[in-house]
Amino acid sequence: MSIADNLKKYKTEVETDNVKLIAVSKTQSNEAILEAYNAGQRIFGENHVQELEDKEAELPKDIEWHMIGHLQSNKVKYIAPFISLIHGVDSLKLLQEIDKQAKKNKRVIDCLLQVYIADEDTKFGLAYDEIIEILRSEEFSKLENVRITGLMAIATNTKNEKQITIEFNELKVLFDGIKHSFFKDDAYFKEISTGMSADYKIAIEEGSTMVRIGSGIFGKRIIKHFKANPSEN
Ligand SMILES: *Cc1c(COP(=O)(O)O)cnc(C)c1O
């Protein structure tokens, strides 16, 4: 199947009033992205700042770019002028830097707090108590140019569907608790970004509002070796 066919299949299957499809285009060429774009996709996710900057400059301006990878504070300035949503915010320090750069660009930048739900030590993210600590802090209350619109997480890379279901379910419970405690009257806090090609069906059943699909749309990724850091998050 072509990229356009794959994309249409996913759009039909996952997109509803409550669920958005993020096409994860990391390592993919502009041509591949344009094929998805021409088939109607407008939200694309990337995980390297340099690659994101290049693609933003070269591709249509109505694309909504999402940063889905680990973001270093010193690189926020490069994407602050255009980024639509930063999925992987995992520290107060990073949030403060995003706020600072958003201010410089006279914008408010939407962010998701990345929660650690996986049974692995390789994944980034915050523990429940760390999220509470950030949201309760005086430093957080001073931020004016970031808006927390929800949570993001990556499940354990396993074929054990029961385990994945439990992890996504825990995330949903956590989301509901945080919503109740901190964002009760905030209509913007509504996103749960979970689910990739292998586990998006379970993710949607467990309350995901944003699924991030890469290989299912574009095919297997070819790791490019010219990059400073070819590793994927
Ligand atoms: C690469 C990536 C995806 C997409 O993964 P696929 O298995 O190709 O669908 C989703 N989320 C994050 C954070 C990623 O880095």
3-state SS string over 45-61? EECCHHHHHHHHHHCCC
Number of compact structural domains in the chain? 1
Establish if 233 belongs to a structural domain: no
Instruction: Judge if the beta carbon of residue 215 lies within 6 A of ligand 1.
Output: yes
Establish if 131 belongs to a structural domain: yes
pLDDT at 123 over 80: no
Establish if 186 belongs to a structural domain: yes
Domain assignment of residue 202, given as a range: 3-218
Strand partners, 151: 113, 192
In the prediction, which pLDDT does 232 show? Answer: 45
What's the one-letter identity of residue 200?
A: Y
In the prediction, which pLDDT does 13 show? Answer: 96
Average pLDDT of every residue of the chain: 94
pLDDT band at 116 (very low <50, low <70, confident <90, very high): very high
Output the residue whose Cα is nearest ligand 1's atom 12.
Answer: 68
Q: Give the CATH number, domain containing residue 203.
A: 3.20.20.10
Q: What is the mean pLDDT of residues 8-24?
A: 97
In the prediction, which pLDDT does 221 show? Answer: 81
State how far the Cα of 13 lies from the Cα of 104, in Å rounded to an integer: 40
Establish if 229 belongs to a structural domain: no
Establish if 225 belongs to a structural domain: no
Instruction: Show the CA angle centred on residue 24, arms to residues 130 and 73, nearest 5°.
Output: 40
pLDDT at 230 over 90: no
pLDDT tens per residue, range 200-216: 999 999 999 999 999 99
pLDDT tens per residue, range 38-91: 999 999 999 999 999 999 999 999 999 999 999 999 999 999 999 999 999 999
Instruction: Judge if the beta carbon of residue 233 lies within 6 A of ligand 1.
Output: yes
What's the one-letter identity of residue 96?
A: Q
Establish if 227 belongs to a structural domain: no
Establish if 198 belongs to a structural domain: yes
Query: Which is more confidently placed, 225 or 206?
Result: 206
What ligand 1 atom has the least distance to the C-alpha of 218?
A: 8
Instruction: Give the chain's length.
Output: 233
Q: What DSSP letter does each residue of 190-215 carry, written as one string? A: -EEE---TTTHHHHHHTT-SEEEESH
Tokens of 44: 């694309």
Most informative mutation of 70, 164, 196 for ligand 1 (most atoms within 8 A of CB): 196
Establish if 132 belongs to a structural domain: yes
Strands (E), 68-135: 85-89, 109-115
